[in-house]
Amino acid sequence: MGAMNRRSFLQTVTGVLSSGALAPSVRAQGTPRARELEADLVVVGGGLGGCAATLAACRAGLRVVLTEETDWLGGQVTAQAVPPDEHPWIESFGCTRAYREYRDEVRAFYRLRYPLTPEARAQLHFNPGNGWVSRICHEPRVSLAVLEQRLAPFTSTGQLQILREHAVRAAATDHDRVRAVTVRDGREGGERVLQAPYFIDATELGELLPLTGTEHVVGAESRAETGEPHALPSPQPDNQQAFTCCFAIDHLAGEDHTIPKPAEYDFWRSYVPQMVPAWPGPLLSWSTTHPVTLQPREIAFDPTEQVTTANLWSYRRIIDAAQYAPGTYRSGISLINWPQNDYWLGPLVGVSEAERARHVARAKQLSLALLYWMQTEAPRPDGGTGWPGLRLRPDMVGTTDGLAKFPYIRESRRIRAELTVVEQHVSTEARRQATGQTVETVTAEPYPDSVGVGAYRIDLHPSTGGRNYVDLSSLPFRIPLGALLPRRVENLLPGGKNLGTTHITNGCYRLHPVEWNIGEAAGALVAFCLARKEPPRRVRHQPGLLADFQASLRRQGFELEWPRVRPL
């Protein structure tokens, strides 16, 4: 686009936005007019997928604008306060080189900056919190520091511009192409119009999809549409996985850090989930549903760490005090992301902004109610009740209320893609039945257009439609390029959980290393397409181009297929 045409286009876009035709609300009097930025790529959303996409594009020399709704980059591992959920082989294979480097740098940060014991320092696979959900349970701020350092060389040269606290508000399209997006500065007000040949939607909820008219799916599809054994009989757009407002706590025995009684405590104290199959009793208890068998199960909790087996205290513990020099920490520190503070009383997608805000506010009340219950009423192994020494740690999550900056999102809008991953492609039982192979020999669908790999059980938390857990054995899988390509729109790519999966298969494609791989592949694809002057769809459908693209991914450290491993 020539300079004059580009200027005319931006003037047109700015005029339309100022008129309110594309913006969701009228610009207030006195608000500065929208400013324009141009780049080779605009990445909307600064979570793991967005950061990975940005790194891949910057490595290739592209000029990038990255936006993020909060003031922290990193998404799940930082603003949402969720340590990495990963597969058992992550230390040796099953992720991209860049993701492994990120993990290595997290460990290096602790070794360089923290007073570790000699024994902890000597561990090859040091786990800062010794949490048993992950091999690298660590503080959100450490991931934030690592990600900022990885991006720093590109920001200092001006190749990358990061717009923190900017939320997407509108988009301008021309037939099957996105021409510009508008983001609003949440701190200072005002808007920016961002223009580029390519856009990546790496937002947590797929916010660009409706704004750009990109065909997408919300919630649960029907069995008639997908053929999936565990799909629901009819489509339920409002049926979406629970989200969680996480928080961090430590425990100071003999002290009283009880928070004020939350406004909704009485509601949550008596709330009994209405689930199918049934929940065993009140949500605020140590009795929950086993995610696989759906039978009642008791979970132990003891912040004094006298209980060592399946103790919720150590489940997502991010600091194990025993691994640091004596006196460094008075207690271990745990992130609380449990069944007891999953929120499923309403969805975040397909509702008004006011309704979404109401659900987030209630989810925060649930998390505070859980903490208050643990401090005052929760049964202890010694027969007593409550641990008043549990202390909320707002410093760990960077907020004043002690709750994570952003809810932990498990399910996004999802593009209607050229190829949709369905249960029959990854479920151990479905694949075994379809192929006639044994559990020992069966593999996931061997997509020839693979752009990466991942592994996780099909893990769906209870949903807003009242369905209990769906937790199924799955096979280590590939990430198909076709799942990154919208059926119609040419220059918008998904950068995370909004790729072409179903409500069911989202349950294994939504975790940290897979989100990173999706975003990194999308960023690499944009760079490849700009260099070859070819559109993404042609890369997939022309064997020579696909082979060249996959070869370039391998050179960048992508793994495109799995060695023989057992199902999860």
- Residue 566: per-residue pLDDT: 73
Weakest mean pLDDT among 237-246, 307-316, 402-411, 420-429: 307-316
Which amino acid appears at position 132 of this protein? W
In whole numbers, what is the pLDDT of the chain averaged over residues?
A: 93
| Contact predicate 493/449, CB 8 Å | no
- Average pLDDT, integer, range 167-176: 97
Q: Return d(Cα 265, Cα 262) in angstroms, integer.
A: 5
Closest C-alpha among 207, 83, 89 to residue 141: 83
Residues of the chain with CATH 3.50.50.60: 1-119+141-238+415-568
CATH superfamily of 1-119+141-238+415-568: FAD/NAD(P)-binding domain (3.50.50.60)
What are the tokens at 130? Answer: 């010794």
Please state the rounded mean pLDDT for residues 559-567.
Answer: 87
Model confidence at 429: pLDDT above 80: yes
What would the pLDDT profile of 502-517 be if each residue is shown by its tens digit? 999 999 999 999 999 9
Beta bridge partners of 185: 166
Distance CA 125, CA 136 (A): 8
Q: What is the rounded end-to-end Cα distance, in angstroms, of the chain?
A: 50
307: pLDDT strictly greater than 70: no
Instruction: Please state the length of the chain.
Output: 568
Residue 10 binned pLDDT confidence (cut-offs 50, 70, 90)? very low
Write out pLDDT tens, residues 323-358.
Answer: 999 999 999 999 999 999 999 999 999 999 999 999
pLDDT score at 33 = 56
* Helix, strand, coil percentages, rounded to 5, for the chain: 30, 20, 45
Which amino acid, 390? L
What pTM value is reported for the model? 0.93
Q: How many whole angstroms separate alpha carbon 357 and alpha carbon 190?
A: 22
User: Can you state the angle between helices 140-156 and 48-59, rounded to 10 degrees?
Assistant: 30
Q: What is the pLDDT of residue 305?
A: 78
Kindly state the percentage of the chain with pLDDT values over 70. Answer: 94
Which phi and psi angles does 296 have, rounded to 5°?
Answer: -60, 145
d(CA 477, CA 463): 24
